[in-house]
């Protein structure tokens, strides 16, 4: 059984249990359920921002613990202060060490858009994401049918949330619909968890210009971003590059500063400077 199938099977049981514990009527009473979401698309297009979607995650199925004692309030606030365009918050508990409460905490301390990163399979999860403070949700093409993607995206749109639709090959772009705002290419193979940013470059030509292009995972250097921009990418989701250091916020700040300087200085000093922040 590959990793994605294992996650989906576990997630189905987990969602079923949450439905019984926290009914939709209870979720709809949340402070955030009736709050106007912040547009991820608009923030990624801001010229005074970096295009970085800085991610908070403490572990992964492939790496194990990354930064298990990181504080979501501290890290998310420093990400925003560093110049990140948006935040991505992992909420899957079993495989990624996340918590739904991390969304609410990040929302409390930040005004920028927040993407909930999880394996959304059911309409219940869309309502849940809104009630905990998310502005956008992730829908993974490999995990959902075309019909289900449309239903989930339409529900998110009715709640004024935005949708990042994630693909891994050219065939999956056929599942896109008019309720989707952004299309992301995950450079990580969800079956093996191997990573290669050439995946984004290869698939860029298959993404219609109507959708904002996002490159996800495996981005290590500012040169990676400069190269991806040539192929029309406007957003760059980065997690492990920052979270695998003792100070993710500082690592993010160093990276964005280097990105701004890249037009003046072709040397990439970030990868050398960040070694002093590594947790290992």
Spatial distance between the Cα atoms of 147 and 155, rounded to a whole number of angstroms:
13
Tokens of 201: 């470059």
Tokens of 54: 């800085």
Spatial distance between the Cα atoms of 19 and 122, rounded to a whole number of angstroms:
10
Closest CA to 125 of 9, 212, 12, 257: 12
233 within 8 A of 244, measured Cβ to Cβ: no
Alpha carbon 79 to chain centroid, angstroms: 14
Tokens of 8: 């989906």
State the alpha helices, DSSP H only, in the chain: 3-21, 24-27, 40-44, 72-82, 93-96, 100-109, 123-131, 146-158, 198-203, 222-229, 240-243, 248-261, 270-273
Tokens of 241: 């590059």
Residues assigned a catalytic role: 55, 57, 117, 166, 186, 216-217
């Amino acid at each position: 059984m590959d990793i994605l199938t294992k996650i989906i099977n576990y997630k189905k049981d987990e969602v079923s249990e949450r439905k019984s514990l926290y009914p939709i009527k209870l979720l709809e009473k949340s402070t955030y359920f009736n709050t106007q979401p912040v547009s991820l698309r608009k923030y990624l297009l801001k010229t005074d921002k970096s295009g970085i979607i800085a991610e908070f995650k403490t572990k992964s199925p492939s790496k194990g613990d990354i930064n298990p004692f990181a504080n979501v309030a501290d890290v998310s606030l420093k990400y925003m202060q560093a110049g990140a365009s948006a935040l991505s918050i992992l909420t899957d508990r079993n495989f990624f060490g996340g918590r739904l409460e991390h969304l609410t905490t990040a929302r409390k301390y930040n005004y920028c858009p927040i993407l909930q990163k999880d394996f959304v399979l059911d309409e219940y999860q869309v309502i849940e994401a809104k009630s905990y403070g998310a502005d956008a949700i992730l829908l993974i093409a490999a995990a959902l049918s075309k019909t289900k993607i449309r239903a989930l995206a339409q529900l998110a749109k009715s709640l004024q949330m935005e949708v990042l639709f994630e693909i891994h090959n050219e065939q999956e772009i056929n599942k896109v619909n008019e309720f989707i705002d952004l299309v992301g290419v995950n450079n990580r193979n969800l079956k093996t968890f191997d990573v290669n940013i050439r995946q984004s470059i290869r698939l860029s030509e298959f993404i219609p210009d109507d959708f904002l292009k996002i490159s996800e995972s495996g981005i290590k250097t500012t040169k990676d971003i400069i190269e991806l921009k040539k192929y029309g990418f406007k957003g760059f989701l980065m997690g492990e590059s920052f979270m695998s250091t003792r100070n993710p916020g500082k690592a993010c700040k160093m990276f964005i500063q280097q990105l701004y300087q890249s037009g003046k200085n072709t040397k990439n000093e970030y990868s050398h400077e960040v070694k002093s922040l590594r947790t290992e």
